[in-house]
Amino acid sequence: MAKKKASEGRLAPKGARYYEFELGYRVYRDGSVWSQRLRGPGPYRSDLPWRQIAVVPSNKHQQFVTASRTVWSIPALVLEAFVGPRPNHRMMPKHRDGDIYNNAVTNLYWGERTWGSPGTRPGSDALARPLTRQQARRVWRLHSQKGLDASEIAKRLGIKNAGPIQQLLKGLSWNDVTGLPRLDTGRKNAVLNEKLVKEVMRLHTEERLTPREIALKLGLGVQRTMLIKGVVKGKIWSATTGLKPGGV
């Protein structure tokens, strides 16, 4: 199906529920993409049932779908089909609620492309801007309740740079939101301090958490599991824990 020129306005007729952007592929007003083609290579068959295609955010900021060996931006498809063409090259699809999984036409609009906006190229300092309090709460909830790490959280929330998330999970920012002890960064590569070691022991003795669970709960990452194990076994920080080698 040939696309209309930009001057002709939206691609789909007014009031249409879907737009067939490629033979055997439809995008609906709610942002869902459906296919009538077989999985994998093969000829198009019009007798096959339509099925919804599962899509993921390929660049952590918007969802894409591959149709006829072409990669399509779903929010751009929805806007071009049901709203109108991209006003100019400086415009990009944006989500009103910030949720990259909500590609309904009512949630999308053409917005000015600015540094740090979803979909812009990496390398801008704006991409590593600090988290807002609302973002910090969502980050901690995803980490503490679902066990997601910084990269997974960044992908879920559509945050380009995971650095601020890592800072939060390590106890270097938003401690009033997370309740984590603030890490002592006065010493190069510092990981544990006396306050944090006491919290490790409390989690181990009172909540009966494993070293791995403690490392995740404190935002230190699974790579610090052996370090936590050394604390609870009395191999390190014994002056603070009062343990002898061998643990509690």
The beta strands (E) that lie in the chain are given as: 18-22, 25-28, 33-35, 51-52, 64-67, 70-73, 91-95, 108-112
What does the chain come to in residues? 248
pLDDT tens, 67-76? 777 778 889 9
Give the pLDDT band (50/70/90) at residue 181: low
pLDDT (mean) for 94-112 = 85
Domain 6-112 in CATH 3.40.50.1260? The answer is no
Beta bridge partners of 27: 19, 33
Mean pLDDT of the region 121-134? 54
CA separation for the pair 110, 95 (Å, rounded): 9
How far is it, in rounded angstroms, from Cα 198 to Cα 240?
7
**Quick one: DSSP state of residue 200?**
H
Residue ranges of the chain that CATH labels 3.90.75.20: 6-112
CB atoms within 10 A of CB 162: 20
The whole-angstrom separation of Cα 183 and Cα 123 is 28
Q: How far is CA 152 from CA 134, 176, 179, in A?
A: 18, 23, 21
Its pTM stands at: 0.43
What whole-number distance in Å separates Cα of residue 153 and Cα of residue 159?
Answer: 8
C-alpha to C-alpha distance for 199 and 225, rounded to whole angstroms: 15
pLDDT tens-place string over residues 82-91: 988 888 877 8
pLDDT band at 3 (very low <50, low <70, confident <90, very high): very low
Q: Name the pLDDT band for 45 (thresholds 50, 70, 90).
A: low
